[in-house]
Amino acid sequence: MSIATRIAHEIPSALAVAKEVMASVSGFFSAFSRANSAAHAYDRLNHLSDAQLAARGLSREMLGEYISDMYLTD
């Protein structure tokens, strides 16, 4: 097999691997960003009083599920 033929076969394969790696890295940072946003939202809501939470239609017991639904569910 000539060098040109080998290169012609190897470049698309290398590009496919690079594309998969970039998609994985992108997915990681996307998930990290969502988790970070969820943590900040939980902290903000957790510092509210029970009356303030109730005014928003929330209770302290439902914060975890609420945050998960808002930020972590695809």
**Alpha-carbon span 1 to 23, nearest angstrom:** 32
- Cβ contact 11:32 at 8 Å: no
The parent domain of residue 51 ranges over 3-72
- As given in the structure block, the two tokens for residue 13 are 């394969």
What's the structural domain count of the chain?
A: 1
pLDDT tens digits, 5-42: 776 677 778 888 889 999 999 999 999 999 999 999 99
pLDDT score for 2: 77
